[in-house]
Structure 1
Amino acid sequence: MYSHILVTVAYEAAQDAAPSLDIAKALLAPGGQITLMHVMEPAPVFALSYLPEGWREDMRSAIEADMAKLAEGLENAAIVVAEGDAAHEVLEHARAQRVACIVIASHRPGTQSLLLGSTASKVVARAQCAVHVARRPPAA
């Protein structure tokens, strides 16, 4: 059982955080903490002039509100929204907060993700703590 579990939350098609949360709850030690984390990737430079004023703050607020709903009923839960490279931010937060286990969702890799790498594979390769990969079926 783990005293502090970091659950990554992705806002992509076919990503549901509920299975990862179920895993985290099963692995959590009594009195332990679950932290939900989402990393906002930077917008491409060419798109910045097309985005409305305050878009980043609006997006962050919407994500925080959604994550608060996910955390309802979790005792001692925390929410983190960071910006930057997803793998780097997850790994840095886990190291700085002494996370004992990271729960991260991953789809079955195809040729493209094998060549380019995915956030999950980078986290698994570089984490200094346990990592539980929650497999998702490929999108139909």
Structure 2
Amino acid sequence: MYHSILVPISFDPDRDVSAPLKLAGLLATPEARITLMHVVEQVPAYAISYMPVDYLEGTRKALQAELDGLAQTLPNATGLLIDGHSGRSILDWAEQNAPDLIIIASHRPGMQDLLLGSTATQVVRHAACAVHVVR
């Protein structure tokens, strides 16, 4: 059983967030702190000029509301929205907050992942705590 669990959440349409959340609920102690994190990657400068002025702010509010809704399904869970590169930001947060476990969803690797790697791969290779990968 784990006392501090980090669950990075991807809102990609092909990813199911229910499995990592269910697993977090099963592996957490009754007083465990569960953090549901979504990392917002930076929009390239050339693309930002084509977006409405309030687009990013509206998107951030919607993402935070979604995280908060998911957090309400688990005891002692909170939603956290941060900016940065997905893999590096997850690892940096984990280094600063020392969770016992990271539960991360992954997709089946394709050719692109063989060349560039995936977020889950980066977290598994470099995290200082236990990592559970869910497919």
TM-score, normalised via structure 1 length? 0.92
Aligned length: 135
* In 2: Cα distance, 1:93 partner to 1:119 partner: 14
Deviations 1:82-131 (A, max 9, x none): 11100111111111111110000001101211111000000000001110
Q: In structure 2, how many angstroms separate the alpha carbons of the residues matched to 1:73 and 1:114?
A: 35
Match of 1:138 in 2: none
RMSD: 1.0
Give the corresponding residue for 1:68: 68
Secondary structure in 2 matching 1:107: coil
What residue is the counterpart of 1:103 in the other structure? 103
**For residues 16-55 of structure 1, what are the structure 2 equivalents within 5 Å?**
16-55=16-55
Q: Which residue of 2 aligns with 1:7?
A: 7
Unpaired runs of 5+ residues, structure 1, are: 136-140
Using the alignment, how far apart are the partners of 2:44 and 2:16 within structure 1?
25
Shift of 1:73: 3.5
> Percent of aligned pairs with the same residue?
44
Equivalents in 2 of 1:112, 1:48: separation in Å? Answer: 25
Q: Separation in 1 of the partners of 2:13 and 2:25?
A: 24
State the Cα distance separating 1:24 from its structure 2 match: 0.8
AA partner of residue 50 (structure 1): Y
Letter in 2 for 1:9: I
Query: Which segments of structure 1 move beyond 2 Å, counting only runs of 4 or more?
Result: none
Structure 1 counterpart SS, 2:49: helix
Distance 1:57 1:26 in 2: 34
Shift of 1:9: 0.6
- State the alpha-carbon separation in 2 of the partners of residues 30 and 95 from structure 1: 24
* Per-residue deviation, 1:20: 0.5
Unaligned 5+ segments in structure 2 are none
Distance in 2 (CA, whole Å) between partners of 1:107 and 1:129 is 21
- Counterpart code for 2:61: S
User: Matched residues in 1 for 2:80 and 2:17: separation?
Assistant: 14
SS at match of 2:105: strand
1:78 matched to which residue of 2?
A: 78
Normalising to structure 2: TM-score of the pair? 0.96
